[in-house]
Structure 1
């Protein structure tokens, strides 16, 4: 499942032109090659995706859509965007795809622009329970422009409380319901959300930034048949360039397109759109389906071993690429844990813990850890390596002799599975 090393002639050329910046890029390359990338939102793209990102399409200004651009000379980039759209709609079974969104947040902004007006009520997963900034944070456009009501997860199971979703929907009659999370390790019940949305006459927006790659690989249920608009990223498990996309039915296609351009964005990034087309093509292969299955298998083993090492695994496991765990039983809070692990070469994120910490004494400052297996799986790691990673992680957090050797063992493991052999 490993990918092939891309040529570094471009980096060599940069070294001659701008050695200061070239050294930064080479240092980042060395960081990625000598540490373990456990960040749930990251992956390693293929050399073909990297080639498209560094292609002459980066030079082309292309405001508008294929056949209706505001700039001349767009005949060939039109072909690239049409190819990306065709591959996206075929891959996800959607009637329409917009591949111009610059990011997942840009995609969500466009979905809101297509469906809502400032002041409308929106029901979404509360930020303390794993909601994204675009789900109502007061620091974000969403919280400033719309009236968000947050639902949560069950205190016992950690699963979405659908009874609460229904009760809040009936009480607040939202214009839209958003389903999606940055730290929910289980499959979302798209059909249950659709049922509630229909009952109260709300639009359903699926923020599928994390699971969309698993959907492409056939190991996660698709939101496309249920949601009015699906927002997603093209990186993470999907293993494409950093960017966003929207999927919808034909009845909302024009509204979605106009919400992206001209309402929220200007010129499309054609090199990124070409790279998205490459990623969609790769995701349609049997090799990617096998990769997606391995991502989930690895995550389940990782979750099980972390629990055996003493961490409190939220929801008791995972259905996806993501594992959310509370390190408090090992005597550390999330931020301290992340810092210790980073020093040992294990890169991951903190996340909110719904309903407080497993250790009340640390509840004031404890947060959870969010891990992902997409990047490690791209490197070719399997279940055995996940057991090793869990042991290394626990050893760092508990200290002692296991922590002393952890950095060297991380280097050895990373060297055995280079991201670009």
Structure 2
């Protein structure tokens, strides 16, 4: 029987009713989509920033709401015909504020970086001093990279981690804050696997008269499920993404108190963005609704349990796991004891069907690997699978990639991301 768009859609209903039309009109792009679905379904997606959206989120993303131009905010748009998208955005705002216990939510940022840019625009002026985790220790590009707007527009001072434990050096944070008197302190990272002490950061910020900005792009999904502490009561502004553990569409959001609501909204539109992507805003609303269900709490706690199991299993395979483990979905590790530097390890693992990132390691020139358990947990994997994944990592780095690739395909095939 020939493979047709209709047969593919029957096998993969998540593609939606429009896929047959796409296949007829643009088979090249249809083939890319099918190829990506095959890649996702036959390998292990272990990038810490990735997950699988639910079919409902994908349906909202592919809806006619993509047609609507909607500069402004509900009830105050610069375009007509926004009555229905106003409803969608109000739902998203209300759900986000309720889910995270915030007085105000802005759901329009196109990305996590756009959310951080808006937070800086609302609270800072060019040239202000900002204290944030240094890039070698897990800080993000928006935390002062010279290649990024943050490093060009502001004077960033980087704090680090203890040389032995790999944990945030809180005394260094306090000393740097007292010395440099920053206008803002940023708490958050992309490669730190432990929970930051938000209350301690709040104390330091109050001592030096600084705003506290929480960049919670990675842990916000765990926060939604009660599997991580919330920064909302402590931070003046919380920046976050709506994908990663949260399982929503790619995008950002901001949470703040009522006193900063107008400044935050004006920093998003009109200062840093134009019209909101209303299909994405609606998809965010769907994700917030899903995250409020009891099943999502169960999911996030399993994400953490899987990450801890995977970290322990990697350590047993001689990987040097930073901080000795994890509190979150995220693990960073040095593969050097197995004879591979981070970039090399990433390539060997990818060749065997296991996709990870590489990252900087504190106090060294070499790079490690960064991985997460959100996507494989969405697929239904649990602790036994984490132990086997660690074994497959070690085998791949020890030169048995071809054998590992076959087992990875079998393992992934038992846990399809979108069951037919």
Change (3 A) 1:89 1:155: same
* Superposition map of 1:22-421 within 5 A: 22-356=30-364, 363=365, 366-399=366-399, 402-421=400-419
Count of matched residue pairs: 408
CA distance in 2: counterparts of 1:13 and 1:43, whole angstroms? 27
> 2:346·2:356 contact (CA, 8 Å) conserved in 1?
yes
TM-superposed CA distance for 1:292, in Å, is 0.3
> 2:331·2:371 contact (CA, 8 Å) conserved in 1?
yes
> 2:348·2:401 contact (CA, 8 Å) conserved in 1?
no
CA distance in 1: counterparts of 2:18 and 2:172, whole angstroms? 54
TM-superposed CA distance for 1:10, in Å, is 2.1
Q: Secondary structure at the match of 2:238?
A: strand
> 2:195·2:228 contact (CA, 8 Å) conserved in 1?
yes
CA distance in 1: counterparts of 2:128 and 2:77, whole angstroms? 32
The residue number in structure 1 matching 2:3 is none
CA distance in 1: counterparts of 2:401 and 2:26, whole angstroms? 39
TM-superposed CA distance for 1:13, in Å, is 1.5
User: After the TM superposition, which parts of structure 1 deviate over 6 Å for at least 4 consecutive aligned residues?
Assistant: none
TM-superposed CA distance for 1:242, in Å, is 0.1
Q: Secondary structure at the match of 1:231?
A: strand
TM-superposed CA distance for 1:5, in Å, is 5.1
CA distance in 1: counterparts of 2:20 and 2:129, whole angstroms? 53
TM-superposed CA distance for 1:11, in Å, is 2.2
The residue number in structure 2 matching 1:17 is 25
> 2:16·2:59 contact (CA, 8 Å) conserved in 1?
no
CA distance in 2: counterparts of 1:279 and 1:148, whole angstroms? 34
CA distance in 2: counterparts of 1:238 and 1:144, whole angstroms? 31
CA distance in 1: counterparts of 2:13 and 2:396, whole angstroms? 31
CA distance in 1: counterparts of 2:71 and 2:369, whole angstroms? 41
CA distance in 2: counterparts of 1:140 and 1:122, whole angstroms? 14
Task: Give unpaired runs (5+ residues) of structure 1.
Answer: 357-362
| Pairwise CA RMSD | 0.9
TM-superposed CA distance for 1:410, in Å, is 0.4
CA distance in 2: counterparts of 1:370 and 1:340, whole angstroms? 14
> 2:351·2:401 contact (CA, 8 Å) conserved in 1?
no
Q: Secondary structure at the match of 1:117?
A: coil
CA distance in 2: counterparts of 1:260 and 1:328, whole angstroms? 43
- Structure 1 residues 226-264: Cα deviation after superposition (integer angstroms, max 9, x where no partner): 000000000000000000000000000000000000000
CA distance in 1: counterparts of 2:409 and 2:139, whole angstroms? 34
CA distance in 2: counterparts of 1:68 and 1:254, whole angstroms? 13
Q: Secondary structure at the match of 2:18?
A: helix
CA distance in 1: counterparts of 2:20 and 2:268, whole angstroms? 37
Task: Give unpaired runs (5+ residues) of structure 2.
Answer: 1-11
CA distance in 1: counterparts of 2:16 and 2:288, whole angstroms? 24
Q: Secondary structure at the match of 1:6?
A: helix
Q: Normalized against structure 2, the TM-score is what?
A: 0.96
